[in-house]
Amino acid sequence: MSCDWSSILISLRKVSQSYGDRAVLVDASVGPGERAGVVGDNGSGRSTLLRTIAEHAAGAGTRPAAARRADQPSVAGAGRGAGAGARRLRRHARRGVTRPSPHPAFPGRRNHSHGGNHMLTMISAGAPYGITTGADGALWFTLVHEGRVGRLVPGQEPVIHQLDPADGQPTVIAPGPGGALWFTEGKGGRVCRITADGQVTAYPADSPYGIVAGPDGAMWFTQMRSGRIGRVAADGTLSACEVPVEGGMPAFLTAGPDDALWFTLNQGNAIGRVSMEGKVTVHPLPTEGGAPVGITLGPDGALWFVEIGAGQIGRIDTAGGIREFALPDREARPHAIITGPDGALWFTEWAAGRLGRITTDGVIDHHPLPRLPDGPDGARRSEPHGLTAGPDGAIWVALEAGALARVPSGTAT
C-alpha cells in the first residue's frame, strides 16, 4: 500500500505526556521533513499516543494527517510459534494449567440510560475491544490492556475472568463448537479456548488476530506478522497455510456461504479466500490504500468488509466481483462489521465514535453511541472497536474507553 507522506504536516518540539507515573512521550521532537513511525501491538497504546500528538498539534492550530492511520492493526508481537517453549505451552494448557480467576461484579460498574433503549454499561475492570454473543445467551468480551475476558448477561452484573499470564492482550473473540468461546492474544502469541465456567486452554500461534469457526468444525485464525491462516482442529492439532502476499497482514476472517473462509489483507489491500483444503485465492481491491479490516457474511450471500484507510464499505461476491460504497465521512475509519438482526450491515466508525449501517442496496445511515461520562479533562472519546448482535436483538459495541454500548437495531426489545 502506498501513502503520500508529503501531505503530513506536523512538527513537534520537546513534547511530553504522562498518565500518572507512566510517561508515554518525553521531549519528543520531529522537525520539518523528518519521518517518524509508531509501531506496537494491538492495544499497546498507539491510538492514545497519536491522539496525544494530535491534541498537542491542535493547540498550535494544526491537525496531523498521520493521526488518521492510528487504528490499523500492527505486525509487531511476541509470538511463540515454534520450539520447545511452544510445545511446553501447548502441553501445559491441555492439562488446564492456564486458568482465569473469576471476579464477578467488579466495583464501579454502572448502567446509564440514554433514551430510546440506548444503554451504556461501564466496565471498570478494563478496556473492551472484541465482543461476541455466546451460545449461552451472554455477551463475551475481551479487555485488551488488562488481559481479561468478561461475560455479561444484559441486565445483570458482568463476570470478569483474569487470564494467566495477563500480558497477552486478548483482542478478537468468537463462538466455537460445544458452546465455548475462542479468542486471540496477539502479544502473547496464543489462541485460547474459554468455557462457560471460565476454564482456558491455550495454543501457540504467531501474532494471531481474527478468529472464527469454520464449516469443518475447526477454529481458523489469521497470523498477521507471518502472513498465514492458522487452524486448530477439534483434537487440538495445529496447521497453517501461507498467504501469497508478502507483508499482506491478514486481519479479520469469516466463514463464507461456499464452504470456505474469507479474510481481509490489511496491508495487501485485498480480500482473500481459503478453501478447506488450504488453497488461497486473492482478490485485489479497486481502491488503492483501502486497508480492509473487518469482514462478515452478509444477508445476501456476499461478503461485506470495511476499508479503514479509504473510508468505504466493500462487498465481494463468491465469484470475486467487488463493489465499494464511499462513506459520507471518509475520515470515519470503519473498523469492524457484522450482519444485524434487521437484515442490514452494521459497522463501527472508530475515528467518528459512532455506528454506521448499510443496507444491501447501499443505503448508508449513522447512529450515535451513548455518551460516556466526562473524564477529568472533559468529554472522552468512545473508541468503538468490535460489535455483535446481542441476545436481546440490539447491537452491542465494545468501547475501548471502558464500556459496552447498546444500540437498538429496529428489532430490539
End residue of a domain, out of 24, 39, 69: 69
Least confident of 86-95, 99-108, 322-331: 86-95
Cis upstream peptide for 286 (omega within 30°): no
Beginning with the edge strand found earlier in the chain, give each strand of the sheet holding 228-232 in spatial order: 208-213, 219-223, 228-232, 238-242
Q: Are residues 167 and 300 in the same domain?
A: yes
Task: Please give the model's pTM, rounded to 2 decimal places.
Answer: 0.76
Q: Are residues 29 and 177 in the same domain?
A: no
What does the pLDDT read at residue 285?
Answer: 98
Task: Calculate mean pLDDT across residues 401-409.
Answer: 95
Q: Are residues 54 and 167 in the same domain?
A: no
What does the pLDDT read at residue 103?
Answer: 46
79 occurs within a structural domain? no
Beta bridge partners of 128: 143
Q: Are residues 167 and 286 in the same domain?
A: yes
Q: Are residues 161 and 39 in the same domain?
A: no
Angle of CA points 321, 339, 209, to nearest 5°: 80
Beta bridge partners of 398: 404
83 occurs within a structural domain? no
Q: Are residues 150 and 287 in the same domain?
A: yes
75 occurs within a structural domain? no
What does the pLDDT read at residue 410?
Answer: 76
What does the pLDDT read at residue 86?
Answer: 35
Q: Is 307 known as a binding-site position? A: no
Of 41, 244, 234, 27, which is closest to residue 144 (Cα–Cα)?
Answer: 41
Q: Is 246 known as a binding-site position? A: no
- What is the per-residue pLDDT across 62-93, written as a single tens digit (0 to 9) for each? 322 333 333 434 332 333 333 333 333 333 33
What does the pLDDT read at residue 313?
Answer: 98
Is the per-residue pLDDT at 148 higher than 60? yes
Count CB-CB contacts under 10 A for residue 393: 15
Cell of 120: 451504556
- pLDDT tier at 44 (50, 70, 90 boundaries)? low
- pLDDT tier at 32 (50, 70, 90 boundaries)? very low
What does the pLDDT read at residue 380?
Answer: 82
Q: Are residues 60 and 199 in the same domain?
A: no
User: Where in the sequence numbering do the catalytic residues fall?
Assistant: 385
78 occurs within a structural domain? no
What does the pLDDT read at residue 147?
Answer: 98
412 occurs within a structural domain? no
What does the pLDDT read at residue 64?
Answer: 29
Question: Is beta strand 303-307 parallel, antiparallel or unpaired with respect to 292-297?
Answer: antiparallel
Beta bridge partners of 262: 254, 273
What does the pLDDT read at residue 41?
Answer: 52
What does the pLDDT read at residue 35?
Answer: 55
What does the pLDDT read at residue 202?
Answer: 98
Number of domains the chain contains: 2
Task: Calculate mean pLDDT across residues 6-21.
Answer: 50
Q: Which domain holds residue 132?
A: 91-407
Q: Are residues 238 and 95 in the same domain?
A: yes
Q: Are residues 182 and 49 in the same domain?
A: no
363 occurs within a structural domain? yes
Is the per-residue pLDDT at 328 higher than 70? yes
Q: Is 331 known as a binding-site position? A: no
Least confident of 10-24, 130-144, 344-358: 10-24
Residue with cell 475520515: 331
Is the per-residue pLDDT at 134 higher than 70? yes
- What is the per-residue pLDDT across 163-212, written as a single tens digit (0 to 9) for each? 999 999 999 999 999 999 999 999 999 999 999 999 999 999 999 999 99
CA distances from 341 to 52, 59, 113, 256 (A): 37, 43, 22, 18
151 occurs within a structural domain? yes
Q: Are residues 41 and 182 in the same domain?
A: no
Q: Are residues 216 and 246 in the same domain?
A: yes
Q: Are residues 49 and 115 in the same domain?
A: no
3-state secondary structure of 91: helix
Angle of CA points 238, 75, 143, to nearest 5°: 75
- What is the per-residue pLDDT across 269-317, written as a single tens digit (0 to 9) for each? 999 999 999 999 999 999 999 999 999 999 999 999 999 999 999 999 9
Count CB-CB contacts under 10 A for residue 180: 20
What does the pLDDT read at residue 278?
Answer: 96
Evaluated on CA atoms 5, 10, 11, 16, the torsion sign reads negative
How far apart, in whole angstroms, are the C-alpha atoms of residue 89 and residue 204? Answer: 7
- What is the per-residue pLDDT across 363-377, written as a single tens digit (0 to 9) for each? 999 999 988 887 777
What does the pLDDT read at residue 98?
Answer: 36
